[in-house]
Amino acid sequence: MGKNKIEWVKIPLSRRQMLKSTAAFSAVMASSSFSNAWAQSGSTLRGRTYADMRSLDPAFSQGVSDEEIHACIYNKLIQFKPGSKWEWQLDAAADIEQVDTTHIKFALKDNIGFTNGFGAMTAEDVKFSFERVADEKMESPNKPDMDALSHVEVTGEREGVIVLKSPFQPLWTISLPYITGNIVSKKAFESVGGRIDTEVVATSGPYTHFSWEPKQKTTLRANPDWKGEKVAFDEVQIFHIDDEKTAEIAFEAGELDFTRVSLASLERLKANPPSNSTVEGFPSLYYVWVGMNLNNPKLSNLKLRQAIQHAIDVPSILEAAYFGVAEASTGIIAPGLIGNRASNKVPSEANIEKARQLLKESGESNVSLRISILNKQANVTTAQIVQANLAAIGISLEIDLHEAATFWELGGNENLELVINRYSMTPDPYYATSWFICEQAGVWNWEGHCNEEFDRIHKEGPGELDVGKRNAMYQRAQDIMEESGAYKFITHEYTPNIYRNSIKPALRPDGLPLYRYFQRS
Amino acid sequence: MIMKQNNELQLIIKHFFRNILGVAGFLIVMLMVLSAIFADFIVPYDPIALNIKERLQGPSFSHLLGTDQLGRDIFSRMVMGSRVALQVALPTVFGAVSIGFVLGMIAGFGPKWLDNAIILLLDTLRSFPTVMFALAVVALVGPSLETVIFIIIVTSIPTYGRVVRTQTLSIKSSEFILAEKSMGSSTARILLVHILPNIFGPIAVLSAMEIPTIIGLEAGLSFLGMGVRPPTPSWGSLLNEGYTLIRNTPWLLIAGGVPLIITTLGFTFLGETLRDAVDPKLRKRN
Amino acid sequence: MLGYIIKRLSLAVLIIVFAITLLFVMIHSIPGDPVSTMLGPRATPELKASLEERMGLNEPLPVQIAYFFTNAITGNLGTDVFTNRPVTSIIGEQLSYTLMLIFASISWSALLGIFLGCYSAIKRNTISDKILAVLSVSFIATPSFVVSLYSLLFFSVYLGWLPAIGAGDSDDLWDQLIHLVLPAFSIGLSWVGYIARLVRASMLEIMSENHIRTARAFGLPRRWVIYRYALRLAILPTITVIGVGMGFLLSAAVFAEIVFSRPGLGKLVIDSITTRNYPVVMGSVLLSTIIFVVSTTLSDIINAMLDPRIGRQL
């Protein structure tokens, strides 16, 4: 392993802290390694994913459910670190250093090899893996996360430099430790024409892909040639169960070791957990809000929109739709991330007096609106509360249910009025603001929100290396959203997990599993 | 002639009320119809009024079947659900019967090519997988009471159409129609005066027997989230909520399922007894 | 007779083509497309366009339908939008679960139904016959998805006797059987009533026929006559009814698969229609329509063979 040869030219404070904690983490891992030695015989970990596997090619990964598998069978330069803070740790990289704002040097470990005889992992593989995602011809849906990449310079068999087109801080929070960071074998992929679907050609992670039974489960097996930290399980089975309720029943029947459970059951499970299991909750990053289409003439009156903002009572929604366990949100960026706001400009609690006043000032009367929602229980419940809230100030609201495919087409619909929406999120604020810029209007910016200052923040944010300044920028961005009157922020949701006490889960701060780090207790 | 018909009717009524099940079915159906009509006076609470503080409570004197996720009174929602069931069942039966009648009579009485075309249409409609068809329609126009009615009408037309066609065919070849024809009666006259009244009995019975299927289908679609819009209560949407909250409370499932089962039973008993009563052959046998 | 069979079969083919074309048009005209579902929020318009082109979605609808049928004849149903696997193998996997469920449901309900039907016929007009009659009607009238929900609530959630979800471990036969119990029970229940009634009615009819009476007059034991002659004849219409019932069983299976989260054709259709996974939707629609039309056509033909009057009528 190469020692630190390069001086840190410019390293943000938070990154330095991260490195320190990474070192501490490695130490812990080293001391615990002997205790894993016994944990090797005939053990199976049974987890659950909400969506079926769709692709084993990281370039065509469909998000979290594919990544849960990819993270076990592929390696990345750096990985998310399990725990309650968003941090990363070294994986395939022995060293990784930000030389300047657009150059990142890395050196690979020398003990990582690909299965099926595809040899050791080299810097060429890193170059191939990153550049193929960024390559327009590849048509990877994950391209935006590698958009900032200019190229990877190979400087040695296991050394190279990532060269960016422009400074891009989310590289450390998304591009490298998440989907696009997975390193595949160049030789292996080229031998099958450059991309794969649901059959692996070569993997390098601590687990290998053993089988996939569509709509049922994915089975991973410990990689016998893995030279890194020994894994705790011989086999990992990830069951595809889309409904959380069903997963709970499966857990209680002893068919799963780890699963997310529904909010509805949290109280019951906490009060009376199945024997030998633990229930734990995590704040998630998702953001849910009620949006109003600014381009619809029915909602063009700012005072009317503000009246609606003030009429909606978030605490009731949290109580009924989220079973009183989720917190009210202050925007699109969750606590723990750069840019999170401490409070809302429009309070979460309804203010009926103010709402009535605003409605009166708006001069609108006999307002009747429609709210479009995706056909999911939490949305249906939320919509009915919003309906009751608006009825209290004399606005009638009709609820329009949509199944998934029609719902996700609504963005381009000019007749859209109110909508309950929920977007997924990665641990970098740039990911959240990217949907609400002018360019996205009618695509993913369903409210048609368009603000020059907001767009500038989104453009400059990723290049801002000063954490404090970056923080303030994204906070301001959310102020702008709220001032437009088009948003009432609801919640970031909550992720309750349940697991057997025989295992020690390794989770991201938002409660999502990092199966490769799961341990036996 | 009139005397004879009266006797026949008396016989039917007499037979009907001798049958315990028929009476039970009749009572259940009456109860259901009455509760649908007078739902507003029966319900102790506004079935759509939220009371979030009192959500998910068990049964008590103030809430006979407890409350749902939004603190609404489940009993009140159950009673109101009977209204949706009837609102769907009646127009659906009416629509499907009338369309089925027209198509079936045309097929039975019209030229051979038209008959074939209608058979093709009916068989095609019949072979649509109901759930897929419903999913497609709901995705196309959005879920609502009208959508449900439309879907069920389309899927039940073939049943009526085929029965009417077969009946028309058999009556058409019967001797008295042949005699009418030879006497130069017009087709319209034959259809209206002779065939229509003769098909009416079997269709009335079939309608009564189809109502439980229709109510079940409506509940099924609502269970899949393809039925009435919230917050309108229907038995199917109660079942849907009950399924997602199956570990929290059984009362939603009970409130959605029990009246559904009882109503379908009621209509089935009624229909069966009616069929036996109308058919002289069966009347004698049982 | 042969003429009738040919006529009926060509009608069946026509119905399939007609129904599939209609559904094809319907499903393609509803908003939403697999491209946006597949590429997710981050797709650029260019990316969408190129994927659409590859999937043939930019072709006019009649051309797409023609492609679909010409490919389908050669057994090629296209590939899954998301995983690029052949649709035929996806459907094959899921179909086996559905067929297993349907087979299990119909087996137990036929066994019990025939037994109860015989019993009622023999004990005609006794109290137990009357009770069975009411039970049969009640079974028929109860929607199968309500039975699914209640058996899930009772046997899995409250008693914890039987597994609630899934189809069981694929290499553990016992586990699979255990997982079949509740869904097969729910689907089969109404068929128990249906078959019992049918068997009772046909038994009564047959028992009143001359040769049975003659056999009995010859002093053959009553039981022997019933099992030897009557039951055999009475089962024929039952088989026909089961044939017609295939289509309805498919619909009932959809609900059971949802309630018990079982893999199967119904669940596949719902999942693929919500993601607008056109090749999978059309493949499974084609298959279920074929199953339905073939089974009704067969039972029509069998009926016609048994009852020559129908043959003349058509």
Q: Going by C-beta distance under 8 Å and a sequence separation of 6 or more, which residues neighbour residue A288?
A: A329, A382, A420, A421, A422, A489, A490, A491, A492, A493
Q: Write out pLDDT tens, residues A435-481.
A: 999 988 888 899 999 999 999 999 999 888 888 999 999 999 999 99
Largest CA distance in chain A: 74
Q: Is the confidence at residue A26, as pLDDT, over 60? A: no
CB contact under 8 A, C137 and B239: no
Distance (Å, rounded) from C-alpha A508 to C-alpha A384? 33
Burial tier of A253 (Cβ tally within 10 Å: 0-12, 13-18, 19+): middle
**C-alpha–C-alpha distance, residues C118 and C116, integer Å:** 5
Taking CB atoms and an 8 Å limit, are B132 and C150 in contact across chains?
no
Q: What are the φ/ψ torsions at residue A196 (nearest 5 degrees)?
A: -125, 165
By C-alpha distance, which of B224, B150, A446, B197 is closest to C266?
Answer: B224
pLDDT digits (tens, 9 = 90+) for B46-104: 888 888 888 888 888 888 888 888 889 999 999 999 998 998 999 999 999 889 988 98
pLDDT attached to residue A382: 95
| Structural domain includes residue C240 | yes
Per the structure, the count of domains in chain C is 1
- The angle at the Cα of B215, spanning A397 to B36, to the nearest 5 degrees, equals 65
Q: Tell me the C-alpha distance between C208 and C121, whole Å.
A: 11
Smallest CA-to-CA distance from C260 within C162, C194, C192 is with C162
Residue of chain C with shortest Cα separation from A253: C163
Name which residue leads in pLDDT, A183 or C48.
Answer: A183
Cβ neighbours for A202, distance < 8 A, ≥ 6 positions apart:
A114, A115, A116, A118, A184, A185, A187, A188
Neighbours of A372 (CB within 10 A): 26
Answer whether the bond into residue C60 is a cis peptide, omega within 30°: no
Q: What would the mean pLDDT of C17-30 be, rounded to a whole number?
A: 83
Give all chains having 3 or more CB-to-CB distances under 8 Å with chain B. Answer: A, C
Q: Find residues 223-262 of chain C whose CB sits inside 8 Å of chain A.
A: 261
Amino acid identity, position B153: I
Q: Determine the average pLDDT of the residues in A326-355.
A: 94
Touching C (3+ Cβ pairs <8 A), the chains are A, B
Q: Which of A222, A11, B238 is nearest to B246 (CA)?
A: B238
C54 vs A242, C48, C216, CA distance in Å? 29, 10, 73
A40-84 pLDDT per residue, tens: 345 899 999 988 888 999 999 888 889 999 999 999 999 999 998
On chain B, the residues whose CB falls within 8 A of the CB of A383 are: 230
Nearest to C83 among A143, A198, A239 (CB): A198
Mean pLDDT for all residues in chain C: 80
Among C25, C85, C30, which residue's Cα sits nearest to residue C61? C25
d(CA B262, CA B260): 6
Model pLDDT for residues B124-138, shown as the tens digit of each residue: 888 777 777 887 788
pLDDT digits (tens, 9 = 90+) for B221-279: 888 888 888 888 899 999 998 888 887 888 999 999 999 999 998 988 888 888 777 76
Question: What b/e sequence results for A145-175 when a residue is b if at least 16 CB atoms lie within 10 Å of its CB, and e otherwise?
Answer: bbbbbeebebeeebbbbbebeebbbbbbbbb
Would the CB atoms of B230 and A385 count as touching at under 8 Å? no
Q: Tell me A417's DSSP state.
A: -
Matching residue, tokens 């609106």: A369
Higher pLDDT, C312 or C159: C159
How many CA atoms lie within 13 Å of A199's alpha carbon, on the beta-carbon side? Answer: 8
**Contact status of A405 with chain C (Cβ, < 8 Å):** yes
Q: Out of C134, C273, C285, whose CB is closest to B21?
A: C134
Residue carrying structure tokens 């037979």 = B15
Helices (H) and strands (E) in chain B, counts: 13, 0
Q: Which range has the top average pLDDT, A19-23, A213-217, A263-267, A455-459?
A: A455-459
What whole-number distance in Å separates Cα of residue B123 and Cα of residue B130? 13
The pLDDT of residue C311 is 44
Best CA proximity match to A432, nearest among A142, A136, A170, A168: A170
DSSP A450: -
What is chain B's length? 286
Contacts of C234 (CB under 8 A, 6+ apart): C117, C118, C199, C202, C203, C206
Question: Is residue A226 a contact partner of residue A205, using CB atoms and an 8 Å limit?
Answer: yes
Contact B69, B245 (CB under 8 A): yes
Among the listed residues A185, A176, A180, the one whose alpha carbon sits nearest the alpha carbon of residue A205: A185
- CB-based contact, C295 to chain A, within 8 Å: no
What CATH number does the domain containing C140 carry?
A: 1.10.3720.10
- Pick the range with the lowest mean pLDDT from C43-52, C100-109, C268-277, C305-314: C305-314
Give the bridge partners for A220, in sequence order.
A209, A236
Is residue C253 assigned to a domain? yes
Q: Which two tokens stand for residue C179?
A: 């997982």
Residue B132 and residue B127: Cα distance in Å, rounded?
11
* C-alpha span between C310 and C291 (Å, rounded): 23
Residue B75 near residue B63 (C-beta atoms within 8 A): yes
A54/C contact by beta carbon, under 8 A: yes
CB B243 within 8 A of CB A262: no
Note which residues in 181-240 of chain A have CB less than 8 A from chain C.
197-198, 213-216, 239
CA gap A127, A125 in Å, rounded: 5
Of C40, C83, C94, the CB nearest to A55: C83
Q: What is the pLDDT of residues B15-36, one digit of tens each?
A: 666 678 888 888 999 999 999 9
Q: Do residues A502 and A278 lie in contact, with contact meaning Cβ atoms separated by under 8 Å? A: no
CB contact under 8 A, B220 and C11: no
A26-30, A322-326, C2-6, C191-195: the lowest-pLDDT one: A26-30
Q: In this structure, what token pair is assigned to residue A59?
A: 């370039």
**Is A216 in Cβ contact with C165 (below 8 Å)?**
no
Strands (E), C70-194: none
Q: C275–A253: do the CB atoms touch at under 8 Å?
A: no
Architecture of domain A43-240+500-520 in this structure: 3-Layer(aba) Sandwich (3.40)
Contact B231 A245 (CB under 8 A): no
* Predicted confidence (pLDDT) per residue in C167-206, tens digit: 777 777 888 888 899 999 999 998 899 888 888 888 887 7
- Domain around C191: 90-261
Q: Which residue has the higher pLDDT, C256 or C277?
A: C256
Task: Look at strands A368-374 and A418-423 and give their pairing.
Answer: parallel
For chain A, say whether C166 makes contact (Cβ under 8 Å). yes
Cα separations in angstroms, C256 against A295, C253, C263: 44, 5, 10
Q: Which domains does chain B have, with CATH numbers?
A: 8-283 (1.10.3720.10)
| CB-count exposure of residue C170 (10 Å: 0-12, 13-18, 19+) | middle
> Where in chain A are all domains bearing CATH 3.40.190.10?
43-240+500-520
pLDDT of residue A315: 95
DSSP class of residue B8 equals H
A90 vs A103: CA distance, rounded Å: 18
Give how far the C-alpha of residue A140 lies from the chain's centroid of Cα atoms, to the nearest Å: 18
A62 touches chain C (CB under 8 A): yes
Task: For residue A285, give how far its alpha carbon lies from the nearest alpha carbon of chain C (Å).
Answer: 17
What number is the average pLDDT over the span C18-28? 84
Question: A253–C40: do the CB atoms touch at under 8 Å?
Answer: no
Can you give the three-state secondary structure of A49-81, one letter per residue? Answer: ECCCCCCCCHHHCCCHHHHHHHHHHCECCEEEC
pLDDT at C211: 64
3-state secondary structure of B119: helix
C-beta separation of A398 from A417 below 8 A: no
Q: Are A180 and A74 in contact (CB under 8 A)?
A: no
Q: Which of A387-396, A422-431, C116-125, C252-261 has the highest mean pLDDT?
A: A387-396
Tokens, residue A208: 């290998």
3-class SS letters over A480-500? HHHHCCCEEEEECCEEEEEEE
**Neighbour-count burial of C157, counting CB atoms closer than 10 A to its CB (0-12 exposed, 13-18 middle, 19+ buried):** middle
Query: Phi and psi for C214 in degrees, rounded to 5?
Result: -60, -45
Task: Quote the Cα angle for A61-A67-A70, to 5°.
Answer: 95
Residue C37 in domain? no
For residue C111 the two structure tokens come to: 């066994």
Residue with tokens 């087409």: A409
Q: What does the angle CA A139 – CA A141 – CA A143 come to, to the nearest 5 degrees?
A: 80
- Give the residue carrying structure tokens 């996360």: A145
| Test the C interface: residue of B127, B167, B210 with most C CBs within 10 Å | B127
Residue C308 lies in a domain: no
Q: How far is CA A66 from the centre of its chain?
A: 12
Residue C54 lies inside a defined structural domain of this protein: no
Ramachandran assignment for C280, one of left (phi > 0), alpha (psi -120 to 50 degrees), beta (any other): alpha
Interface of C with B in 121-160 (CB under 8 A): 134, 137-138, 140-143, 145-146, 149-150, 152-153, 157
Do the chains contact at A423 and C83, CB–CB below 8 Å? Answer: no
In a domain, C1, yes or no: no
Grade residue A162 by pLDDT with cuts at 50, 70 and 90.
very high
Q: Return residue ranges of chain A for CATH 3.10.105.10.
A: 287-492
Of residues B69, B138, B142, nearest to A381 (C-beta): B69
Distance CA A55, CA B30 (A): 57
Q: Is A10 exposed, middle or buried (0-12, 13-18, 19+ CB in 10 A)?
A: exposed
Residues in chain A: 521
State residue C223's pLDDT score: 66
- Distance between CA atoms of residues B234 and B150, nearest Å: 17
Predicted confidence (pLDDT) per residue in A102-124, tens digit:
999 999 999 999 999 999 999 99
Average pLDDT over chain B, rounded to whole?
82
> Average pLDDT of A304-318?
96
Alpha carbons A423 and A281: distance in angstroms, whole number: 20
Overall fold of domain A287-492 = Dipeptide-binding Protein; domain 3 (3.10.105)
